Structure 1
Amino acid sequence: MTIIICRGSRVLLPDSNSLQPATIIIEADSGKIIQVHRRLLSKDSLPSHVQLIDAGTNVILPGLVDAHVHLNEPGRTDWEGFYTGTRAAASGGVTTVVDMPLNSIPPTVSVADLSVKRTSAQGQCFTDVAFWGGIIPGNQKHLKPLVDAGVKGFKCFLIDSGVDEFPCVDEKDLDEAMSALENQPTTLLFHAEMDKHSPSEDNPSDPASYSTFLHSRPDAFEIDAISLITGLQQKHPSLPCHIVHLSSSKALPLIRDARAAGLKLSVETCFHYLCLSAEDIPYGKTTAKCCPPIREASNRELLWDALKEGTIDIVVSDHSPCVQELKKIDEGDIMGAWGGISTLGLGLSLLWTEGSRRGISLAQIIDWTSVKTAKHVGLHERKGKLQTGYDADFIIWNPDAEFTVTEESLRFKNKISPYVGLKVRGRVEKTFLRGSLIYDCVNGFDGIEPKGELL
């Protein structure tokens, strides 16, 4: 048996709010943690033939599980791909990503489509990768077979998705899909925006002004969608439902009421809703456009409060890249630009930078981005914790290092991000997947081959 030993004086172990000395024993062949000692074993007491990973004064954290990522391959690999996307994820301490059913061609709406995507991903992934399926009008017969094939759940849109091959669903489509999925081990995910409103006559018309875009996607879009979702849940109470990328704090009372009524409803928000605000988005800055939109600073603080109290369960990237032309950067056309923000590789640093200003601990951040995201996607018995029997996915993290985000530092394919120029705190020094190094901040990916599995 080949043994890897990882030790450090500041380790985040399960069910602990503080960092503590620990030594983690890993079986190299299986990549599993076989023992955790809640103390720092001395080097002299360790066998000489083992591989030793010593974190020194840095922190050891579980690898992150990003449950909302668009990798876009095949079909739109010029936007992103498994190779570049998972490298970017690994550079930010993410060891598992869950790929959305769009914007690839074909989208993942049948077992045949899933097979195409898995074939495309094979041998390219630096992190582990799991898959969401999709619900579109007319694909109800494909849902149970997709569950059997291993998708972690199903995403649907209640508004135009932005791509023709993944149309939105209406209430009838949803009722049929929810009937098909009742009593299945799955979750239904909603892009929760509905456009039931006529355009306002006083709608601002300058396409380069962020206020024009914000006015076009009001809070009412999210409120109306969540009202429909919770109404359907009362008819199908056994099926867990999940709101992706919540941006509006005005929808929080609906969510609290649904939970109080016993509905199985979970909620995520994204790094950009917690770190950016509408007031600070410059004129013509198309890189900050996403759907639903980034709202005001006061809204952002209410999202932080909801996260701390548990109304919002998890934080994800919603990494939604595109090619530069679609972002219309030179034109400054926010209304016409693709709506998506690229974040892979930056999330942990962003959340630590903003969270530490609000008294948030590393334990809370890992709970939102690793422990609970692993549970959300059904991987909580092997991912998200430094615990015996779990995959040895972990990060060596320097919480005090500061750096400025540059285009050159971005690891995803298209170097487009609203965070370029931002100074952030906290840096991933190394990332390990099942005990194997998959990223080193000094040497990058030199000598490292893709080791990720398709889950």
Structure 2
Amino acid sequence: MSGPFDLVLRSTRAVLPDGVRPAAVAVRRGRIAEVGDHRAAFGARVDLDLADTALLPGLVDTHVHVNEPGRTRWEGFASATRAAAAGGVTTLIDMPLNSIPPTVDVPALAVKRKAAEGKCFVDVGFWGGAIPGNGAALRPLHRSGVFGFKCFLADSGVEEFPELSVAEMRLAMREIARFGGLLIVHAENAEALGAAPSSVRYRDFLASRPAVAEDSAIADVIDAARAYRARVHILHLAAAEALPRLAAAKADGVRISAETCPHYLTFSADEIRDGATQFKCCPPIRDAADREALWAALADGLIDVVVSDHSPSTPDLKRLDSGDFGAAWGGISSLQLGLAAVWTGARARGFGLADVARWMAARPAELVGLAGKGRIAVGYDADLVAFDPEAAFTVDPANLHHKNPVTPYAGRELHGVVRATYLRGEPVTDVPRGGFLTHPEVR
């Protein structure tokens, strides 16, 4: 074996592309240089044997609302990326909202990058946004390195990021397809949504955002993607009703992928008590049958990735005092907890660590074209996570790195504890070492 190396990590449960097995992972200059037998005689500056603690690839979370600049009281790059590292996430892609300005043109992207400089504990990339009237800004944003473009087909919740009509979405998609970009869509049909009810009853809120709103919006996205041969991605799928349509589109060759989120895989509407607005998100958490259908779709490969959709706010905006679902901010705070939440549900359903690593590391990296992330393989970035899958803990919001201690996971027992996180071969510490990422064409 060649050497010496900067770091060797050994584990009897290394999660590799070909399965889980004992292995030693050797790192040189921030990248994985060798993957050998567990007892391989590597020479290294640091050689750690994790024993039965699992070694996972660093997770890639492609759906995070960092909110800086402009709404930094909600979150920020320092707090978000520290929470990410604590939860085993070594790469995140920041959404174009709810920052001010939103990332809808090149100057706004520059403002966001400047706001993030020197604050990131993990690697960070950026999405651009597609809103009414910014069609001419899409190609320049692509050239500046954004990983794709997000649009809403219903109210985004913030006035500076308006939704697109179906006709406007088709125009944006056609332009993005011309330069080979990716359109990611918040797919709820605005016409199928009811008015947000001023009610403490969760069932009233759920009824205002029926499954047909997701299904019909996804139908519109599929029709446009087929017409323009565009690459599209459905965000935060919650409704089982849309799965057959998605399966048919994939079988027909439409270039479409989909994600779901830990909260849709963990909770169900029946367990959400009235007034518990920490559970409010859009699309809403649906019934247990939807949850189990999402798990089955993950097993079948119909749903491609699991990402957090971390969308925090200050406690007052969640209206915890009144419990008013109509007035409360819609977003789940979970960036630090996604791995444990998904592993808790996965192990109970007979899935393994390799499944979780595929859903939360390898496939999200593939979605955005990060060829050097998401796998423990030679040539990849040495983004690694020491993970104890048997350990359990009860979620205490005070122990989270999120800026605001509001989460629906509070008091819930989860399995799986992150013991250490490595970014490009170095343990994540109190010194921010994260860098900025761009899509492959720019690199």
Q: In the alignment, which residue of structure 2 is the partner of 1:334?
A: 325
Q: In the alignment, which residue of structure 1 is the partner of 2:306?
A: 315
1:206 CA displacement:
6.3
Match of 2:404 among 395, 400, 414: 414
1:183 CA displacement:
3.8
Q: Distance in 2 between matches of 1:222 and 1:178?
A: 19
Q: Distance in 2 between matches of 1:53 and 1:392?
A: 14
* 1:273-422 to 2 correspondences below 5 Å: 273-379=264-370, 381-422=371-412
Asked if structure 1 preserves the Cα contact closer than 8 Å seen for 2:5 and 2:26, the reply is: no
Match of 1:210 among 202, 223, 228: 202
Q: Deviations over 1:269-295 (max 9, x none)?
A: 000000000000011000000000000
Match of 1:142 among 118, 122, 137: 137
Q: In the alignment, which residue of structure 2 is the partner of 1:194?
A: 189
Q: In the alignment, which residue of structure 2 is the partner of 1:102?
A: 97
The change in CA–CA distance for 1:6 and 1:147 in structure 2 (over 3 A counts) is: same
Asked if structure 2 preserves the Cα contact closer than 8 Å seen for 1:63 and 1:431, the reply is: yes
What amino acid is aligned across from residue 453 of structure 1 in structure 2?
Answer: G
Q: In the alignment, which residue of structure 2 is the partner of 1:262?
A: 253
Q: TM-score, normalised by structure 1?
A: 0.93
* Identical pairs, percent: 47
Partner-residue secondary structure (3-state), 2:328:
coil
Asked if structure 1 preserves the Cα contact closer than 8 Å seen for 2:5 and 2:42, the reply is: no
Asked if structure 1 preserves the Cα contact closer than 8 Å seen for 2:198 and 2:325, the reply is: no
The change in CA–CA distance for 1:197 and 1:352 in structure 2 (over 3 A counts) is: closer
Q: In the alignment, which residue of structure 2 is the partner of 1:38?
A: 37
Asked if structure 1 preserves the Cα contact closer than 8 Å seen for 2:192 and 2:209, the reply is: no
**Which 10-residue stretch deviates more, 6-15 or 311-320?**
6-15
**Which 10-residue stretch deviates more, 164-173 or 132-141?**
164-173
Q: Distance in 2 between matches of 1:88 and 1:256?
A: 34
What amino acid is aligned across from residue 449 of structure 1 in structure 2?
Answer: V
Partner-residue secondary structure (3-state), 2:415:
strand
Asked if structure 1 preserves the Cα contact closer than 8 Å seen for 2:304 and 2:363, the reply is: yes
Asked if structure 1 preserves the Cα contact closer than 8 Å seen for 2:234 and 2:257, the reply is: yes
1:373 CA displacement:
0.4
RMSD of the TM alignment (CA)? 1.4
Asked if structure 1 preserves the Cα contact closer than 8 Å seen for 2:259 and 2:306, the reply is: yes
Q: Deviations over 1:206-226 (max 9, x none)?
A: 610100100100011101101
Asked if structure 2 preserves the Cα contact closer than 8 Å seen for 1:25 and 1:34, the reply is: yes
Q: In the alignment, which residue of structure 1 is the partner of 2:440?
A: none
Q: In the alignment, which residue of structure 2 is the partner of 1:166?
A: 161
Asked if structure 1 preserves the Cα contact closer than 8 Å seen for 2:63 and 2:308, the reply is: yes
Q: Deviations over 1:132-188 (max 9, x none)?
A: 100000101111111111100100000000000000001222222122222423210
Asked if structure 1 preserves the Cα contact closer than 8 Å seen for 2:177 and 2:231, the reply is: no
- Alignment of 1:53 onto 2:44: no
Match of 1:232 among 224, 228, 234: 224
1:4 CA displacement:
1.4
Q: Distance in 2 between matches of 1:268 and 1:215?
A: 23
The change in CA–CA distance for 1:46 and 1:371 in structure 2 (over 3 A counts) is: closer
Q: In the alignment, which residue of structure 1 is the partner of 2:67?
A: 72
Q: Deviations over 1:193-244 (max 9, x none)?
A: 01224859xx9x661010010010001110110111111112101x210000
- Structure 2 residue runs of 5 or longer lacking an equivalent are 438-443
Q: Deviations over 1:118-140 (max 9, x none)?
A: 01101100000011100000101
Partner-residue secondary structure (3-state), 1:254:
helix
Asked if structure 1 preserves the Cα contact closer than 8 Å seen for 2:231 and 2:255, the reply is: yes
Q: State the aligned residue count.
A: 434
Q: Distance in 1 between matches of 2:307 and 2:193?
A: 32
Q: TM-score, normalised by structure 2?
A: 0.95
* 1:165-184 to 2 correspondences below 5 Å: 165-184=160-179
Q: Distance in 1 between matches of 2:399 and 2:194?
A: 41
1:405 CA displacement:
0.1
Asked if structure 2 preserves the Cα contact closer than 8 Å seen for 1:8 and 1:40, the reply is: no
1:370 CA displacement:
0.3
1:39 CA displacement:
3.3
- Structure 1 residue runs of 5 or longer lacking an equivalent are 439-444
Match of 1:11 among 11, 14, 35: 14
Partner-residue secondary structure (3-state), 2:350:
coil
Partner-residue secondary structure (3-state), 1:50:
strand
What amino acid is aligned across from residue 69 of structure 2 in structure 1?
Answer: P
The change in CA–CA distance for 1:149 and 1:217 in structure 2 (over 3 A counts) is: same
1:2 CA displacement:
5.8
Q: Distance in 2 between matches of 1:10 and 1:299?
A: 32
What amino acid is aligned across from residue 95 of structure 1 in structure 2?
Answer: T
Q: Distance in 2 between matches of 1:176 and 1:183?
A: 11
1:34 CA displacement:
1.1
Q: In the alignment, which residue of structure 2 is the partner of 1:442?
A: none
**Which 10-residue stretch deviates more, 220-229 or 168-177?**
168-177
What amino acid is aligned across from residue 395 of structure 2 in structure 1?
Answer: V
**Which 10-residue stretch deviates more, 427-436 or 256-265?**
256-265
